[in-house]
Amino acid sequence: MVTVERLLTLDQVAERLGTGVRFPRRLIEERRITFVKVGRHVRIPESAVQAYVEANTVAPVVLRRAA
């Protein structure tokens, strides 16, 4: 049995990222995120959004006090 991953619209991706719809469009245009073309529609797999967030997450710097 094959499980098909949920595909998100550009509006859904923009909402999840907290951006406007132009940002996911630019990610697609620059080939910075995985996407699927369904006819003339463009969809982004949920895992691609999660992978994008993880790849672009910056860990905080921990400063040590001088002794």
- What local confidence, expressed as pLDDT, does residue 42 receive? 97
> By the 8 A CB rule, do 34 and 42 touch?
no
Query: Which of these, 39, 50, 32, 41, lies nearest to 10 by C-alpha position?
Result: 41
pLDDT, one tens digit for every residue, the chain (67 residues): 778 899 999 999 999 999 999 999 999 999 999 999 999 999 999 999 999 999 999 999 988 887 6
Cβ-based neighbour number of residue 51 at 10 Å: 13
The enclosing H or E element of 25 equals helix 22-29
Q: Hey, what are 60's tokens?
A: 């905080």
Strand-pair category, 7-8 with 41-45: antiparallel
- What local confidence, expressed as pLDDT, does residue 4 receive? 82
